[in-house]
């Protein structure tokens, strides 16, 4: 079975450039999550969707970050303009639904370095 | 108080020993609890759910103490392959109910030969 698929796996970009991270959730999963992980802050929830609708984006650090889910099989997280402090691993995860506390499955992550 | 707190470690434990670590959570309404494992430079993966009555999966035992709001993970006969970061995960609540999971920062475990 295909798991959560993320791309790119690694990206190095210059400050000020736009970064787009992509995610394909597990088929049949209704909830999709974007997390960011750094050594200092651990795993932080940025935003999550249920049935393609953004439910809570309070974790999005600032207006430079935006996320979309145009359909059940695709989501993007965009950073524009990027800054060095955005360097982190960005994980996309999906689950059957968010309400029952079901386990969530993570993609392998997108390792972002902004120089 | 942070939503989910863990001792970051590292816990350095000789192979074959028993090791245990706890995690505390602040929201008494939390209903679902999990332990995830994350290997270096990998994604977190579910290790086990934590049930009210406690549960065991091979060498791993998870327990929940609602009164004191903590969960624990016990690893018996530790193996070198158990070296990883163990993340405590608790149902996240806001507004109308459960809406996802909150992760602790993890406890780093190193099993030494």
Structure confidence at residue B97 (pLDDT): 56
Give percent above pLDDT 90 in chain B.
69
Tell me the shortest Cα–Cα distance from B112 to chain A, in angstroms.
23
Task: Check CB contact under 8 Å for B43 and A104.
Answer: no
pLDDT band at B37 (very low <50, low <70, confident <90, very high): very high
- Pick the more confident residue, B101 or B73: B73
Q: Look at residue B92 and tell me whether its pLDDT is greater than 80.
A: no
Residue B100 has its nearest CB partner, among A45, A106, A107, at A45
Most A CBs within 10 Å: which of B31, B35, B100, as the mutation test of the A interface? B100
Q: Residue A80 corresponds to which tokens in the numbers above?
A: 């524009």
Predicted confidence (pLDDT) per residue in A6-65, tens digit: 999 999 999 999 999 999 999 999 999 999 999 888 888 899 998 999 988 888 988 999
Nearest residue in chain A measured CA to CA from B47 = A103
Nearest residue in chain A measured CA to CA from B49 = A103
Structure confidence at residue A100 (pLDDT): 59
Mean pLDDT of B5-28: 93
Structure confidence at residue B96 (pLDDT): 54
Chain A residues at the B interface, defined by Cβ less than 8 Å, are 31, 33, 35, 41-43, 45, 48, 55-56, 91, 98-101, 103-109
Most A CBs within 10 Å: which of B101, B103, B107, B108, as the mutation test of the A interface? B101
**In 10 A of CB B75, how many CB atoms?**
22
Task: Check CB contact under 8 Å for A56 and B32.
Answer: no
Question: Strands B107-112 and B11-14: what pairing?
Answer: parallel
Helix (H, G, I), strand (E, B) or coil at A20: strand
Q: What is the mean pLDDT of chain A?
A: 92
Which residue from A25, A24, A20 is spatially nearest to A86, judged by alpha carbons?
A: A20
Residue A104, classified by CB atoms within 10 Å of its CB into exposed (0-12), middle (13-18) or buried (19+), is: buried
**Cα B106–Cα A40–Cα B89 angle in degrees, nearest 5:** 30
Q: Look at residue B7 and tell me whether its pLDDT is greater than 80.
A: yes
Predicted confidence (pLDDT) per residue in A89-112, tens digit: 999 999 887 765 667 899 999 999
């Amino acid at each position: 079975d295909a798991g959560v698929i993320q791309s790119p796996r690694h990206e190095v970009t210059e400050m000020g450039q736009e970064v787009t991270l992509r995610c394909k959730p597990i088929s049949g999963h209704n909830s999709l999550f974007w997390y960011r992980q750094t050594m200092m802050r651990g795993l932080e929830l940025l935003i999550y969707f249920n049935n393609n609708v953004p439910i809570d984006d309070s974790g999005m650090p600032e207006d430079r970050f935006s996320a979309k889910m145009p359909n059940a099989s695709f989501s993007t997280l965009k950073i524009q303009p990027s800054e060095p402090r955005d360097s982190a691993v960005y994980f996309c995860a999906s689950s059957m639904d968010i309400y029952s506390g079901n386990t969530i499955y993570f993609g392998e992550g997108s390792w972002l370095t902004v120089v | 108080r942070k939503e989910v707190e863990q001792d970051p470690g590292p816990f350095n434990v000789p192979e074959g020993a028993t090791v245990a670590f706890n995690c505390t959570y602040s929201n008494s309404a939390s209903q679902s609890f999990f332990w995830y494992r994350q290997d270096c430079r990998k994604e977190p993966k579910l290790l086990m759910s934590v049930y009210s009555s406690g549960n065991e999966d091979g060498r791993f035992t998870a327990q929940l103490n609602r009164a004191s709001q903590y969960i624990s993970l016990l690893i018996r006969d530790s193996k070198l392959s158990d070296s990883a970061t163990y993340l405590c995960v608790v149902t996240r609540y806001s507004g109308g109910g459960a809406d996802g999971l909150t992760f602790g920062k993890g406890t780093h475990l190193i099993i030494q030969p």
